[in-house]
Structure formats: structure tokens, C-alpha cells
Amino acid sequence: MAERLRKLFDETDIREAVKRIARAILRDFGGEEILFVPILKGSFIFASDLVREIKSPVIIDFIRAASYGCGTATCREVALTKDLETDIMGKNVIIVEDVIDSGLTLRSIRDMLLARNPRSLKICALVDKRSRREVEIEGDYVGFTIDDDFIVGYGLDYAERYRNLPAIFVREGG
């Protein structure tokens, strides 16, 4: 069966979700400074659009994690491959994730950042796949909730491909 892409969310859907999330963040933080921590690589486009909607002081730093022991099963061990360069103690921090899936990597990153004593720590995700959750973790700000579809585009990839697509697609077949 040949690989096919079926559009799930178009550019307008995404733009509206980003604006809705930004309004919720601004409502919660007002004019306070926020440190956004996008998880590389998948969330970089979403984070870029999101921070441009935030009308209060913003700091951005990136984190990257690799999950091991994957195969076709969920990854169990998480190793940081790029840590923050910013001290987050006493800061309002928002982790920016592309997709909350099993929650294992995100929980590991959240727990590590909480140990650094931020003033507050929130989770923002473009997409939440609640049906795939293996651990207790929730997004504070979520763009879309979907079933267990394999999605690409708008930063999301399959084998490093499709990140540049302006919409989000379900990858079928292939």
C-alpha cells in the first residue's frame, strides 16, 4: 500500500488553536515574564508561532530528549541530549511539546524541571493523544485532542520528513 497523507488540520485550524492557547496563557500570566521551553525537534514551528502571539515578556530556551528502548513499543528511558542554558529557578516556565503521547518523555522532562524550582511550570501541547497515555500527565494548554492517528506536518515528522508542511496530516499506509 502506498503512503498517503490526509489533511487533519489546515493552516486556519492551527492558527486559531495557537491564538486560543496564547489567550489562555496571557489570561493566566498577565504581563509576567514567561520562559518557554520547546522540546526539540517537533515543537519548534508551533513554539515559534505561539511566542509571537504572547504580548508579555518572553524568554526562550530549548531542550531535547532522546528516548531509548523503543522498537515498536513505547520508549522507557529518556536521556537529555540538549539541556537548558537558562536557570529556571523562580521563573514562570511553560514546556512546549508537539504531541503528548504516552507521556513518559514529557513526565521525565517535567519532573527534571520541577526539581530546578521554577515559580510555576505548565505544559503546552499542540496535540494530545489521550488514548495513548501510559502515565498521569496532562497538558495545561492543548490545541487539539485526537485519536491514535500518526500525524505529520507543522513540525511533526516521520523519519525527519514532512516537518515543513503548513498543515497537519494523518499519514496512512507506507
Amino acid of residue 69: G
Residue 166 falls inside a structural domain = no
- Residue 165, in any domain of the structure: no
pLDDT tens digit sequence for 155-164? 999 989 999 9
Would you give the DSSP letter of residue 61? -
Per DSSP, the three-state class of 127 is strand
Is residue 113 one of the residues assigned to a domain?
A: yes
For residue 37, the enclosing domain spans: 11-151
How many structural domains does the chain have? 1
CB 110 within 8 A of CB 121: yes
- C-alpha cell belonging to residue 61: 530556551
Q: Can you give the CATH number for the domain in which 93 is found?
A: 3.40.50.2020
Residue 172, pLDDT above cutoff 50: yes
Is position 161 within any domain?
A: no
User: Which residue, 55, 23, 31, is CA-closest to 124?
Assistant: 23
Q: What is the pLDDT of residues 62-99, one digit of tens each?
A: 999 876 555 444 556 677 889 999 999 999 999 999 99
Asked whether residue 141 is assigned to any structural domain, the reply reads yes
Q: Is 6 contained in some domain?
A: no
pLDDT at residue 167 above 70? yes
104 located within any domain: yes
pTM of the model: 0.91
Average pLDDT over all residues of the chain = 91
Task: Count the neighbouring beta carbons within 10 Å of the beta carbon of residue 76.
Answer: 12
21 — pLDDT class (breaks 50, 70, 90): very high
In the chain, DSSP assigns E strands to 4-9, 34-40, 58-60, 63-68, 77-82, 92-100, 120-128, 141-145, 151-152, 168-172
Domain membership of residue 70 (yes or no) is: yes
pLDDT for 2 beyond 70: no
Active site residues: 101
Helical spans, DSSP H, in the chain:
11-29, 44-53, 104-114
